[in-house]
Amino acid sequence: MERFGHTPLSLGREIGERVRDPGLDNPPLNLTEEDLVRGLRYVSIEAPSGVRGRMGVLGPLVDQAEAAVVVRNTAYAFGCSGCFRAGLQVLYLLRRKGIPILEVEYPSTREEARGMVRRIAEFLGGLKG
Amino acid sequence: MRKEGRILVISPGSGLTPEALCRHLVERGVKVGLKETCFGLVLEGEEEALRGALEKARELDRYGVFSKPRGYPPGDPRICRASKGGSPRMGFHFLDYELEKLPLIGEALRELEEGRGAELKGEERRKLPLGELKQVLAEEVP
């Protein structure tokens, strides 16, 4: 994203803001009650707490997003099912928001990598205009 | 000014080592905290300084150094494996998976920026006109 002149909305940056806050001192938890309450804006109360907590952090990022690149075929990399369900919810919210979305797959060959990079570059270039 | 964390990851296809990258940044006088790791460096500093450090790191290998923001500061005891009593670092599996893909991405970025590979664009995806579909049918189903 940054190479093509755009600003990615990063989960790392969000977590960084929280863990540098002196009020948060109960590791390994990096969420506060406020995040869980905020999560209710994006999922119902029946949703598993893992999904709700994640949506408390991811939801505001979806609100800020002006475009999205979704990378599919992530294998095991995204961890437990809570992450996966939260990912599905994020995808649902993005589609409902109606912003430009590009869906690509993680590459396994040089050809696929070329295709992926070219598609992302074209997509991001089109957003500028 | 608020501090941020950043991971610099060296692509396996690059000839760089974390030590060489670290020395390069120190010699150029970047004003960020640095920690060498097995995959590259963890940086911490103000946003502007981090951006400068990233540019200087890419002077060495533009297509071999990748970065992403990191939540916890380097050496934070809250997630340090020493204080947790073992187990992989949080985010390790994700990083490990992406590390495998970096040589491919780096190569693709190089080709894109050098203008090569345009001829490999391939056939554009579109709805096939009926006439062409009939022609394909005639060829495939004698």
Q: What is the pLDDT of residues A70-79, one digit of tens each?
A: 988 776 655 5
**Residue B128 to residues A41, A84, A124, B139, B141: CA-CA distances in angstroms?**
43, 35, 27, 15, 18
Higher pLDDT pick, A101 / B127: A101
Q: How far is CA A61 from CA A21, A28, A39, A105, B22, in A?
A: 19, 22, 12, 22, 32
- Residue B141 located in a structural domain: no
Q: Is B111 on the interface with A (CB under 8 A)?
A: yes
pLDDT given for residue A29 in this prediction: 62
C-alpha distance from A42 to closest chain B C-alpha (Å) = 23
Least confident of A66-75, B44-53, B82-91: B82-91
* A45/B58 Cα distance (integer angstroms): 46
A19–B107 CB contact, under 8 Å: no
Q: Does residue B44 fall inside a structural domain?
A: yes
Examine the pLDDT at A24 and tell me if it is beyond 70: no
Percent of the residues in chain B that have a pLDDT greater than 90, as a whole number: 44
B60 touches chain A (CB under 8 A): no
pLDDT band at A96 (very low <50, low <70, confident <90, very high): very high
Partner residue opposite B5 with nearest CB, options A16, A77, A109: A16
Residue B68 touches partner A, C-beta closer than 8 Å: yes
Residue showing tokens 């960020």: B32
- The confidence score (pLDDT) of residue B76 equals 81
pLDDT at B122 over 70: no
Return the residue in B3, B55, B63, B72 with the most chain A beta carbons within 10 A, the one to mutate for interface testing.
B72
Give the Cα separation of B19 and B23 in Å (integer): 6
Number of domains into which chain A is organized? 1
Q: Of A8-22, A31-45, B79-93, which gets the smallest average pLDDT?
A: B79-93
Question: Looking at residues A95-116, what average pLDDT do you find?
Answer: 90
Residue A101 pLDDT exceeds 90: yes
Residue B36 lies in a domain: yes
Would you say residue B132 lies in a domain?
no
Which band of pLDDT confidence, cut at 50, 70 and 90, is reported for residue A95? Answer: very high
Q: For the segment B17-34, what is each residue's pLDDT rounded down to a tens digit?
A: 999 999 999 999 999 999
pLDDT at A26: 60
Q: What interface predicted TM-score (ipTM) does this complex get?
A: 0.74
Residue A23's pLDDT band (cuts 50, 70, 90): low
Q: Which domain holds residue B59?
A: 3-120
Q: Does the residue B71 lie in any domain? A: yes
Assigned domain for B39 exists: yes
- Structural domain tally of chain B? 1
The whole-number pLDDT of residue B119 equals 54
Mean pLDDT (chain A) is 84
Question: What pLDDT sits at residue A128?
Answer: 64
CA angle (A17, A22, A25) in 5-degree steps: 100
A93 vs A14: which has the higher pLDDT: A93
Domain with A110 in it? 2-128
d(CA B96, CA B83): 22
Look at residue B66 in the predicted model and tell me its pLDDT: 94
Provide the pLDDT for residue A107: 86
Q: Which residue of B has its CA nearest to A107?
A: B101
- Stated as kind and residue range, the H or E segment containing A103 is strand A101-105
Q: Is residue B127 part of a domain?
A: no
Whether B89 and B79 have beta carbons less than 8 Å apart is answered as yes
* CA–CA distance, B93 with B69 (Å, rounded to integer): 16
- B49-74 residue pLDDT tens: 999 999 999 999 999 999 989 888 88
The per-residue pLDDT of chain B, averaged, comes to 85
In this structure, what CATH number is given to the domain that contains residue B88? 3.30.70.260
Give me the phi and psi of A41, to 5 degrees please. Answer: -70, -20
- Residue B88 domain flag: yes
Residue recorded with tokens 């997003």: A65
Residue A101's beta-bridge partner residues?
A68
Q: How far apart are CA B73 and CA B6, in angstroms?
A: 9
Distance CA B30, CA A37 (A): 40
Nearest to A62 by CA among A70, A72, A50, A73: A70
pLDDT at A25: 59
